[in-house]
């Protein structure tokens, strides 16, 4: 435990990444796969789960080895570990579904450079015991998956009238083609960020108003 | 020197030891994952390929991969020799040649359009078209596999060879919508000309390279090369299939795998059995 | 909040022109009305419904964002009305109304409000809306109806009242019934894909397939001339756009007359005329320096012709103007006029110091 920092409970550690430090909406990390593969809910969730797998596996290993990894070569070590899990997940996805593998394409291999993962290894797993690291990684992975799903869901609903491949509006639905094209990713991400920041700003606006009533807006 | 206390430096030996440890752990993990998934991955690839081929050659029950080179045709190995063209021979239940399928690719509007086409040796014509992958504009470019009128082009697209068997008699050509006159022309989709042209170019390029190598050797392909493929013991799968994909093809996949264990040094004694489990799972997915 | 006292710190001469944002914008609306009226006369009820819907959705979106941001209403400056009218004039006359609402909302929300409202937008809002629906509904936005259909004042086009989020019905049968031999392609598309050139007479009478407000070249020029004479618009921009487009087309025609059309066709076809006069001249998104204005206009003209000749699309005015908008700040920066009395050498020395 780091001195001077409030010790979080295990549950808080888990929830950290889901909401307060959400990798997509709060930290805005790992945008490359976020924008590229979120054309459908299925792709988004697959990518989220793959990233979660790598995240959990690598932080667990990093945390286990945290006391033996020399600081001079820690980044190299982390990258080797992360790359290992990316390779593993690459094989797993090929074994489970080639369709998903083709849809995600190079972005599976690119998980290795997803800054969420190296960030978690360096900032969290290298300083915390395995259980807490895994909890934190699970939360982050869940947050990432939720973020990707939020994008992929909206893009698939508007862009194809479907969700997870199931038609929602019948055959006459007019797809918004732009939503499955790259600009659509930016539009939807922008809209979600707007919503998130608006919610957060309402919260922070409301917070100081409590002690001094009647002076909400100065 | 400065007053700041330098952190203790890790001795090189310790660093090498740790890195060695990490590398070993990672190596073991990767090899385990590779071993564990290899059979399932191969089975998956085979299923995907068969699906694509069966779609363009209805009635086929079995697919074999070949490469055509300047010296003849041979079953496709792991490495494809320089200048060789890969193609697929499809056979029916009885083992007779049903047709040839090959892939073509050309740059479309957004990205490369990859198509699978069927070649009928008797008619010397392309008799079917399937799209392997494309990223064309939905609603416009995807008409290449939804537009009935466009797909009609590929019921009998003439690709016969010239008399010296060195080139196509007539290059496959995409013409403006509604102006198709010859059997080797493709009537483009109105409004999706770029994608239509990509399909035509892909077929033309592929056929131009493949057919002069393939046609002189067609005799060798007339019957399925492994007659024992049908006699192998079939695992108890549920009968029935979907979308032209039948149990027979899974049977074949399994026999294919058990007869040709992929890359012997990497296949452990238990590998095949593990593969069975994966495939059973896949078969459920496919047949359900 | 106390109003800040206004202190003018400027060199003479102090001449007050009576212009204000409201006044200029109001006159632009006036200049757009004849074009809109011609469009309605040409395309009938469908065009009228579309014009009204787009304009209302723009105004409503402006009001919504005024409320959300807590700013006073900016409806009275007419800018949202102009955006709506211009956007409507660039859309196909039988564009489904629900898509028209999407276009109007996007143009104000994405093109203007998110940048901070009037004067802060980088890109022309109407074109942002149009670019969005072009990318979202590529089929609907290239579905045209014939001009001067005999039944245009008695019935709507079947696409107009498409239920929200649904695909518009096929218009081919209806259009063929209305006007015999209707091909459904714009003159630019017919030139590009079929090598059929429309004659200038077709353009001048408006008997071509086009967006709602594209056909009346003479009317657009007259309305533009009115704005230019009253000094509500910088005349150099349309002149630069049209001249550079004509010149580029002329050069291409010299190279290969069989392949490239004559400059007059380039000027009259598509949205070049209305784009040059009403969209490229948007004050917030065009450069202000005297040399910059010419560069900006010339750039738009050249890019338009390049897209038309070599791009996948048949029409390039929209993207050309958007590219010009994006480059406008840069053009302004590199074409800063020299401060009076400063020589080139001095300016260079000043930079070094």
DSSP state of A5: S
CB contact under 8 A, A91 and B33: yes
Residues of chain C neighbouring B193 (CB-CB closer than 8 A): 193
B274-280: long-range pairs with CB below 8 Å, 24+? B274/B36, B274/B39, B275/B38, B275/B39, B275/B40, B275/B42, B275/B43, B276/B235, B278/A95, B278/B37, B278/B39, B278/B40, B278/B43, B279/B39, B279/B40, B279/B43, B279/B250, B279/B253, B279/B254, B280/B235, B280/B237
Per-residue model confidence as pLDDT tens digits over A204-213: 776 654 443 3
CB contact under 8 A, A173 and C136: no
Nearest CB to C136 within list A161, A169, A176 = A176
How far is A48 from chain B, CA to nearest CA, in Å?
Answer: 20
Task: Grade residue A215 by pLDDT with cuts at 50, 70 and 90.
Answer: very low
CB contact under 8 A, C193 and B193: yes
Residues in a beta bridge with B113: B106
Closest residue, chain A, to B132 (C-alpha): A102
Task: Grade residue B54 by pLDDT with cuts at 50, 70 and 90.
Answer: confident
Residues of chain B neighbouring C184 (CB-CB closer than 8 A): none
Closest residue, chain A, to C110 (C-alpha): A187
Question: How confident is the model over B73-100, as a mean pLDDT?
Answer: 78
Range in A140-144, B166-170, C53-57 the model is least confident about: B166-170
Task: Grade residue A82 by pLDDT with cuts at 50, 70 and 90.
Answer: very high
- Strand, coil or helix: B144: helix
- Strand, coil or helix: B68: strand
CB contact under 8 A, A174 and C135: no
Q: Is A200 on the interface with B (CB under 8 A)?
A: no
Q: Is B31 on the interface with A (CB under 8 A)?
A: no
Question: How confident is the model over B254-271, as a mean pLDDT?
Answer: 37
Amino acid B107: pLDDT: 85
Residue C197, φ and ψ in degrees, nearest 5: -95, 135
Amino acid C13: pLDDT: 60
Amino acid A6: pLDDT: 61
Residues of chain C neighbouring B140 (CB-CB closer than 8 A): 138-139
CB contact under 8 A, C166 and A183: no
User: Cis (ω within 30 of 0) for the bond into B262?
Assistant: no
Amino acid C103: pLDDT: 93
Amino acid B27: pLDDT: 92
Nearest CB to C139 within list B109, B139, B193 = B139
For residues A91-115, b (16+ Cβ closer than 10 Å) or e, as one string? bbbbbbbbebbebbeebbebbbebe
CB contact under 8 A, A178 and C165: no
Per-residue model confidence as pLDDT tens digits over C76-130: 888 889 999 999 999 988 889 999 999 999 999 988 888 888 888 889 999 999 9
Q: Is A217 on the interface with B (CB under 8 A)?
A: no
Question: How confident is the model over A36-47, as a mean pLDDT?
Answer: 88
Say how far apart CA B283 and CA B258 lie, in whole Å.
Answer: 17
Name the strand (E) or helix (H) holding B90: strand B85-91
Question: How confident is the model over C23-41, as a mean pLDDT?
Answer: 88
Q: Is A95 on the interface with B (CB under 8 A)?
A: yes
Residues of chain C neighbouring B176 (CB-CB closer than 8 A): 193-194
Q: Is B139 on the interface with C (CB under 8 A)?
A: yes
Task: Grade residue C352 by pLDDT with cuts at 50, 70 and 90.
Answer: low
Q: Are strands B97-107 and B85-91 parallel, antiparallel or unpaired?
A: antiparallel
Alpha helices in C256-316 (DSSP H): 263-268, 272-274, 290-310
Residues of chain B neighbouring A71 (CB-CB closer than 8 A): 7, 10
Residues of chain A neighbouring B38 (CB-CB closer than 8 A): 91
Nearest CB to A92 within list B21, B37, B137 = B37
ipTM beyond 0.85?
no
Amino acid B86: pLDDT: 83
CB contact under 8 A, C138 and B140: yes
Amino acid A208: pLDDT: 56
How far is A159 from chain C, CA to nearest CA, in Å?
Answer: 8
How far is C4 from chain B, CA to nearest CA, in Å?
Answer: 54
Residue A175 has pLDDT above 80, yes or no: yes
Nearest CB to B10 within list A72, A95, A98 = A72
Range in A32-46, B45-59, B250-264, C30-44 the model is least confident about: B250-264
The residue ranges of every structural domain in chain C are 19-143+145-184
Name the strand (E) or helix (H) holding B258: helix B247-259
Q: Is A71 on the interface with B (CB under 8 A)?
A: yes
How far is A185 from chain B, CA to nearest CA, in Å?
Answer: 15
Question: How confident is the model over B195-201, as a mean pLDDT?
Answer: 88
Closest residue, chain C, to B189 (C-alpha): C193
Q: Dig out the tokens for C66 from the structure.
A: 């005024």
Residue B210 has pLDDT above 70, yes or no: yes
Closest residue, chain A, to C166 (C-alpha): A173
- Count interface pairs A-C at CB distance under 8 A: 29
Distances (CA, A) of B81 to B84, B215, B225, C259: 6, 19, 21, 44
CB contact under 8 A, A177 and C138: yes
Question: How confident is the model over B46-70, as a mean pLDDT?
Answer: 81
Amino acid B287: pLDDT: 34
Nearest CB to C165 within list A173, A181, A187 = A173
Amino acid A197: pLDDT: 86
Cβ count near C99 (within 10 Å): 26
Per-residue model confidence as pLDDT tens digits over B214-252: 887 777 777 666 544 433 333 333 333 333 333 333 333
Which of B143, B191, B196 is the best mutation test for C, with the most CBs of C within 10 A? B191
Question: How confident is the model over A2-11, as a mean pLDDT?
Answer: 64
Is the distance from CB of A58 to CB of A81 less than 8 angstroms? yes
Q: Which residues of C touch B (CB under 8 A)?
A: 138-139, 142, 193-194, 312
Question: How confident is the model over B255-282, as a mean pLDDT?
Answer: 37
Closest residue, chain C, to A161 (C-alpha): C165
Say how far apart CA B195 and CA B147 lie, in whole Å.
Answer: 12
Distances (CA, A) of B223 to B62, B226, B266, C256: 11, 9, 32, 56
Q: Is B110 on the interface with C (CB under 8 A)?
A: no
pLDDT-above-70 percentage for chain C: 88
Angle at C310 between CA C309 and CA C312, to 5 degrees: 105
Amino acid C18: pLDDT: 64
How far is C172 from chain B, CA to nearest CA, in Å?
Answer: 13
pLDDT averaged over chain C?
Answer: 83
pLDDT averaged over chain B?
Answer: 72
Per-residue model confidence as pLDDT tens digits over C304-339: 999 888 877 778 899 999 999 999 999 988 888 777
**Which chains form contacts with chain C, at 3 or more CB pairs under 8 Å?**
A, B
The separation between CA B3 and the C-alpha centre of its own chain, rounded to angstroms, equals: 67
Residue A216 has pLDDT above 50, yes or no: no
How far is A156 from chain B, CA to nearest CA, in Å?
Answer: 12
Residue A38 has pLDDT above 90, yes or no: no
Amino acid B230: pLDDT: 38
Q: Is A206 on the interface with B (CB under 8 A)?
A: no
- Which residues 124-153 of B have a C-beta within 8 angstroms of A? 133, 137-139
Residue B140 has pLDDT above 80, yes or no: no
Per-residue model confidence as pLDDT tens digits over C213-243: 787 788 888 999 998 888 888 889 999 999 9
Task: Grade residue B258 by pLDDT with cuts at 50, 70 and 90.
Answer: very low
Is the distance from CB of C318 to CB of C90 less than 8 angstroms? yes
**Which chains form contacts with chain A, at 3 or more CB pairs under 8 Å?**
B, C
**Nearest residue to A30 (alpha-carbon basis) of A20, A41, A22, A18:** A22
Task: Grade residue B259 by pLDDT with cuts at 50, 70 and 90.
Answer: very low
Q: Is B15 on the interface with A (CB under 8 A)?
A: yes
Question: How confident is the model over C154-167, as a mean pLDDT?
Answer: 81
């Amino acid at each position: 435990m780091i001195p001077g920092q409030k010790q979080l409970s295990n549950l808080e550690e888990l929830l950290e990444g889901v909401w307060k430090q959400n990798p997509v909406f709060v930290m805005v990390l790992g945008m490359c796969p976020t924008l590229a593969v979120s054309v459908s809910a299925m792709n988004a969730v697959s990518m989220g789960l793959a990233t979660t797998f790598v995240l959990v596996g690598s932080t667990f290993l990093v945390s286990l080895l945290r006391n033996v990894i020399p600081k001079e070569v820690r980044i190299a070590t982390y990258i080797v570990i992360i790359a290992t899990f990316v390779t593993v997940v690459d094989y797993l996805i090929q074994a489970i579904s080639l369709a998903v593998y083709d849809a995600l394409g190079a972005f599976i291999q690119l998980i290795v450079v997803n800054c969420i993962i190296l960030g978690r290894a360096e900032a969290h797993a290298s300083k915390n015991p395995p259980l807490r690291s895994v909890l934190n990684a699970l939360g982050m992975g869940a947050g990432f998956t939720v973020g990707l799903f939020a994008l992929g869901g909206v893009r698939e609903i508007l862009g194809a009238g479907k969700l997870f491949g199931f038609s929602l509006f019948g055959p006459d639905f007019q797809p918004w083609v732009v939503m499955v094209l790259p600009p659509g990713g930016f539009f939807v991400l922008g809209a979600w960020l707007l919503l998130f920041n608006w919610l957060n700003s309402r919260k922070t606006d409301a917070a100081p108003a409590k002690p001094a009533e009647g002076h909400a807006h100065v | 020197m400065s007053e700041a206390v330098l952190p203790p430096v890790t001795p090189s030996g310790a660093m090498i030891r740790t890195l060695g440890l990490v590398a070993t752990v990672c190596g073991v993990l990767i090899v385990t994952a590779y071993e564990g998934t290899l059979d399932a991955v191969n089975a998956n690839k085979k299923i995907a390929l068969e699906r694509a081929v069966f779609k363009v050659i209805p009635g086929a029950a079995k697919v074999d991969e070949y490469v055509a080179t300047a010296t003849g045709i041979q079953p496709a190995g792991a490495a494809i020799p320089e200048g060789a063209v890969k193609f697929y021979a499809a056979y029916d239940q009885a083992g007779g040649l049903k047709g040839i399928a090959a892939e073509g690719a050309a740059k479309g509007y957004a990205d490369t359009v990859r198509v699978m086409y069927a070649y009928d040796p008797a008619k010397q014509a392309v008799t079917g078209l399937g799209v392997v992958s494309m990223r064309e504009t939905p609603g416009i470019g995807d008409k290449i596999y939804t537009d009935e009128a466009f797909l009609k082009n590929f019921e009998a697209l003439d690709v016969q060879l010239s008399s010296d068997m060195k080139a196509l008699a007539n290059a496959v050509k995409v013409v403006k919508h509604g102006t198709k006159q010859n059997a080797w022309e493709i009537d483009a989709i109105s409004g999706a000309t770029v994608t239509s042209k990509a399909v035509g170019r892909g077929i033309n390029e592929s056929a131009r390279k493949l057919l002069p190598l393939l046609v002189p050797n067609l005799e060798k392909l007339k019957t399925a090369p492994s007659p024992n493929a049908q006699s192998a013991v079939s695992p108890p799968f549920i009968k029935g299939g979907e979308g032209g994909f039948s149990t027979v093809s899974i049977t074949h996949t399994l026999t294919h795998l058990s007869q040709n264990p992929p890359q012997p040094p990497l296949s452990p004694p238990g590998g095949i059995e593990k593969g069975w489990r994966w495939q059973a799972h896949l078969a459920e997915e496919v047949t359900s | 909040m106390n109003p800040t006292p206004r202190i003018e710190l400027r060199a003479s001469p102090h001449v007050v022109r009576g212009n204000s944002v409201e006044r200029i914008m109001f006159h632009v609306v006036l200049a757009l009305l004849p074009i809109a009226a011609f469009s309605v006369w040409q395309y009938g009820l469908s065009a009228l419904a579309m014009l009204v819907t787009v304009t209302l959705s723009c105004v409503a979106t402006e009001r919504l964002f005024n409320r959300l941001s807590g700013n006073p209403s900016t409806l009275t400056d007419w800018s949202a009305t102009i955006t709506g009218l211009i956007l409507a004039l660039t859309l196909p006359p039988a564009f489904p109304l629900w898509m028209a609402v999407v276009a109007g909302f996007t143009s104000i929300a994405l093109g203007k409000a998110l940048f901070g409202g009037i004067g802060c937008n980088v890109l022309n809002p109407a074109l942002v809306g149009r670019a969005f629906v072009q990318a979202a509904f590529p089929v609907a936005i290239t579905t045209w109806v014939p001009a001067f259909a005999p039944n245009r004042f008695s019935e709507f086009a079947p696409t107009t009242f498409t239920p929200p989020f649904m695909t518009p019905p096929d218009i081919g049968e209806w259009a063929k019934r209305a006007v015999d031999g209707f091909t459904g392609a714009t003159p630019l598309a017919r030139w590009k894909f079929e090598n059929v050139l429309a004659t200038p007479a077709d353009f001048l009478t408006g008997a071509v397939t086009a967006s709602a407000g594209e056909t009346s070249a003479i009317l657009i020029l007259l309305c533009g001339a009115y704005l230019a004479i009253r000094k509500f618009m910088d005349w150099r921009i349309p002149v630069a756009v049209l001249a550079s487009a004509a010149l580029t087309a002329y050069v291409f025609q010299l190279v290969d007359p069989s392949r490239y059309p004559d400059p007059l066709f380039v000027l009259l076809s598509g949205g070049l005329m209305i784009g040059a006069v009403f969209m490229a001249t948007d004050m917030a998104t065009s450069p202000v320096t005297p040399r910059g204005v010419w560069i900006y206009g010339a750039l738009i003209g050249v890019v338009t012709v390049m897209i038309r000749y070599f791009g996948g699309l048949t029409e390039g005015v929209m993207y050309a103007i958007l590219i010009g908008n994006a480059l406008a700040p840069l053009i302004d920066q590199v074409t800063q006029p020299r401060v009076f009395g400063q020589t080139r050498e001095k300016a260079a020395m000043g930079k070094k110091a």
